Structure 1
């Protein structure tokens, strides 16, 4: 269990250099000790040791596809990458391919743009931004679990399992951002869709106990973050108003008492909120100029930001 101090500060702990093109995505392992990063336009994925700030092995490259999403298993032994028409499995730290890839016979679809791994590492969720379908796969057998989950208008842009793995949140980035909650075991949607996230969904995060889902709007001058009861699908209290141009990243502290928002104003701005009262509880911190992509560790204390200017990845620590 980790908490955020009453008067937090931010410290840059390292700059990771190795990418020559625009960084397209960054993903922490569940324990926060490994970071995967990919380039936006070419098949180049790199792994980093967060403690030593060094690259792990040579980059993983592909002449066929871009690595658009990635997930690391809870035991730290497997990397799963998603891109266009396939999801691939790699041994860690060797980065040797592990078993067969996941592919569908209809190669006109892009069902693996987004991948998410359940907390127990047994189920993989995949979807694409050009279709309305969502797939669940058994990681061990590489077989599909149950029926295809349909109806995600605007495609699948974000996937997130709850901490207990029983709920899957699915977001669309288009228009009045919609989030649907699915019961993983029954394959049934829980309640009505969660709507009202202006310009699409910017980020999602479950509270550590899984009872609340925080969802941000990707645009909008108020930087609204709505908090939803995952059992009833109703909104909890008033939204957080981060007063930024959207909120691109969210995190809960490990003890669940603080929500951290990261949005853009004149630069990247971190704000800290009391999870119970929804009131700002500390002075905002300005981080840097506009950077993407962004990822938090599970405890909300470490974050990684990609740079448009030099293709470096900055690691930051909240103290």
Structure 2
């Protein structure tokens, strides 16, 4: 039985670290997507944002923090934009294809699971390859991240973004390694999983097949190299200011105050500009750490508790409360 969703409108004084944050940085990230928010409540605040208000005053005057709880514990993880080595043509080194989405995968839900896509030959000779990369494990994690860059031998790079999936539910191979007793939960990270798969190529391939979900890509090289990858709102996301959320609870484009606990606490105003297949629940968020290997190492170790509050336009915030609470 699903837990009841509760709403609690807070004040900005309730947000730990609010006064010390860089509100201007969050405001700039907010402006990147507010023009795409079409609800009247959001259109009015975005219209005011264009007038150039003081960022902190803007958020405090027009919004209220709302704590939305659905009975699940809060969880923060991280994601990043990986960089892979690849080629536009297959070679002995570059032989693992990054696929476009076939028509059947859009029409049939769910479509074939991961194993069948890669072993049945259904993708062959159909002009569905964007590029070939040199590492099937990195390709698997590219699918988890949903976007990335592929460095070509001549020095340039192409960017790929999420196009769609085969419709199967995501299954965590990290959790499967824990279930098998290979690792304890606290030991698992993306790098640990990658190294285990490489040390155990046959069992490793079977472990990758444990996740039946398969992601297809599209080329998005029109995005400038100095900008982040495209998020779910089809706009570039920003390192350490953009998060992925569950849009069932948090509107895409909304400011979100996070209070991440753990070894390195993070209290910061972020903007909900992305989604993810594993991001489910009102207190679930994925923090975007940027591009490249270092960002990947930082993101891969993040799995911390805390809480998050979505900033909603004042009328919308109070409309969520039961009449007895107003």
TM-score, scaled relative to structure 1: 0.23
Higher RCO by CA contacts (8 Å cutoff, separation 6 or greater)? 2
- Which of these two proteins has the greater Rg computed from alpha carbons? 2
TM-score, scaled relative to structure 2: 0.23
Q: Comparing both structures, which one devotes a greater share of its residues to helix?
A: 2
